Amino acid sequence: MDDVALEAKGLVKTYKRVRAVQDVSIVLRRGRVTALVGESGSGKSTVAKLLARLVEPTEGEILLDGRKVRRVREYRRKVQMVFQDPFASLNPIHTIRYHLVRPLKIHKRTETPEELMERVQLPADFLSRYPHELSGGQRQRVAIARALAAHPEVLLADEPVSMLDVSIRLGVLNLLLDLKERLRLAVLYITHDIASARYFADETFVMYGGQIVEGGDSETVTQRPAHPYTQLLIESAPDPERAVVALDAPSEEVAAVSAGCQFAPRCPKVQSRCWTDAPPRTEVDSYGHWAACWLYVEAAA
Ligand SMILES: Nc1ncnc2c1ncn2[C@@H]1O[C@H](COP(=O)(O)OP(=O)(O)OP(=O)(O)O)[C@@H](O)[C@H]1O
C-alpha cells in the first residue's frame, strides 16, 4: 500500500446550515490520476480546499504518507494546488521568473527556473515576460511549474482546463499525464466533464449533493455507470446545457432528504427507502467498482 500518497476519511464540511461535503473518503495514489466529477455546487471545490488544507474539516481526517501532518507548512509543500483561472493565480506585476524563483527559494531547491520551464514545455525566454503576455494555456503551464518547484507528492487540479480554449486543453492535460508518469505524482483532477475523466483519469469518483455516489476505474464508471445520477450525467454529456436543466438540484431539495439519498428528488428509479435511509457503498459488477445506491444492495447480498 505504499503507493497511497494521500487518504481522506469521512470528511464533512458544514457552512452554517449548508452541508457542502458529507462523509467523503478518497485515496490518491502515486503515479495515478483520480477524477472527481460533479455539477456546479456538488461540493468538489470544497473537497479540493479541504485536501489542500485551505479550510478545516468539520469532521474527518487527512493522512499524508499514512500519518497526520500537524505542520501546515510541511503539508502544503507536499500537496500543491493548481486553480481554474491561471490569470487570477499569477501576479500581473511580476515576471514569470519571479513566480518561479520565489518558491525555489522558499523550498531551498537547487533547480533553476529554466529547468522548471523545460519540464512544462515552455521556452526559457518566457521567463522575462509578464503573465498578460502569455496565452491562457501558457499561464496554466507556469502555474504548474510553480507548483512543481515545491517537489510535491500530490497535485490538486481544480478544473485546470475549463477556462482554456478547447484547442489547447488536451495539451495541458497531456502535460499533467506526463508529470504523473515521470514524477510519480498523485493527481486529483476535479472536473464537471465526465468525458474528459475517461480519457485522463485512472480512477473516477462521481459527486452529488456533497457525497461521492460512485467510484471505480474510469473506463468502467464511464462505460458502465451504475448510479442513476452517473447514468444521467453520461447521457447528457454531449449536451452540457441539458445536463444542467436535468440535474441542477436546488439546495432546499437536497436539505429535504438529509436522512436518505441526496439524489432521491431527481432519481428516475427512486424507491421509498431512498427518502429515509442513506444507501451504503455497494460493490457493483467488477472489483473496485461501487455505487451508493439501494438498487445494488440486494444484488450484492
Ligand atoms: N464559504 C462558503 N460559505 C457558505 N457556503 C458555501 C461556501 N463554500 C461552498 N458553499 C456551499 O457548498 C456547496 C458546495 O460548493 P462547492 O463550491 O464545493 O461546489 P462545486 O461542486 O465545486 O461547484 P463549482 O463547480 O460551482 O465551484 C454549495 O451549496 C455552496 O453554496
CA-nearest residue for atom 3, ligand 1, is 15
40 lines ligand 1 (CB under 6 A): yes
Task: Read off the C-alpha cell for 2.
Answer: 505504499
Calculate mean pLDDT across residues 210-232.
95
Contacts of 1 (CB under 8 A, 6+ apart): none
- Mean pLDDT score of the chain: 90
Q: What number of residues does the chain have?
A: 301
Mean pLDDT across the stretch 185-211? Answer: 95
pLDDT of residue 245: 43
**pLDDT exceeding 90 applies to what percent of the chain?**
80
- Model ipTM? 0.92
Instruction: Find the 21 Cα to ligand 1 centroid distance in Å.
Output: 9
Q: What is the pLDDT of residues 3-46, one digit of tens each?
A: 999 999 999 999 988 889 999 999 999 999 999 999 999 999 99
Mean pLDDT in residue range 183-210: 95
* Single pTM value for the model: 0.91
- List, in sequence order, every beta strand (DSSP E) within 85-222: 154-158, 186-191, 203-208, 211-217
Beta bridge partners of 26: 8
CA gap 32, 201 in Å, rounded: 7
Q: How confident is the model at residue 277 (pLDDT cuts 50, 70, 90)?
A: very high
Specify the residue with its C-alpha closest to ligand 1, atom 18. 43
What is the per-residue pLDDT for 191?
A: 95
Residue 129 φ/ψ, nearest 5 degrees: -85, 170
Judged against a pLDDT cut of 70, whether residue 248 lies above it is answered with no
Question: Ligand 1: which of 44, 84, 193, 253 to mutate, most ligand atoms within 8 Å of CB?
Answer: 44
pLDDT for 255 beyond 80:
no
CA of 158, closest atom in ligand 1: 22
CB of 38 closer than 6 angstroms to any ligand 1 atom = yes
In which band, very low, low, confident or very high, does the pLDDT at 287 lie, cut at 50, 70 and 90?
Answer: confident
106-122 pLDDT, tens digit per residue, is 999 999 999 999 999 99
* Mean pLDDT, range 94-101, rounded to an integer: 97
Share of the chain above pLDDT 70, in %: 92
Cα–Cα distances in angstroms (integers) from residue 267 to residues 163, 188, 213, 226, 236, in the given order? 31, 28, 13, 13, 15
The per-residue pLDDT for range 37-78, each reduced to its tens digit, is 999 999 999 999 999 999 999 999 999 999 999 999 999 999
Q: What is the pLDDT of residues 196-208, one digit of tens each?
A: 999 899 999 999 9
User: What number of other Cβ atoms are within 10 A of residue 81's Cβ?
Assistant: 22
pLDDT at 243 over 60: no
Q: How far is the CA of 190 from the centre of ligand 1 (A)?
A: 14
pLDDT for 112: 97
- Quote the CA–CA distance of 118 and 113 in Å, as a whole number: 9
- 44 CB within 6 A, ligand 1: yes
Q: Are 180 and 31 in contact (CB under 8 A)?
A: yes
Question: Residue 40 gets which letter from DSSP?
Answer: T
- Could you tell me which residues come within 8 angstroms of residue 117 by beta carbon, excluding any fewer than 6 positions away? 96, 100, 123, 124, 126, 127, 145
Stretch 127-143: mean pLDDT: 95
The CA distance from 87 to 140, in Å, is: 8
Cβ–ligand 1 contact at 248 (below 6 Å): no
- Out of 85-94, 101-110, 117-126, 147-156, least confident range: 85-94
- Which residue's alpha carbon is nearest to atom 28 within ligand 1? 41
For a ligand 1 pocket test, name from 19, 37, 45, 244 the mutation site with the most ligand atoms within 8 angstroms of its C-beta.
45
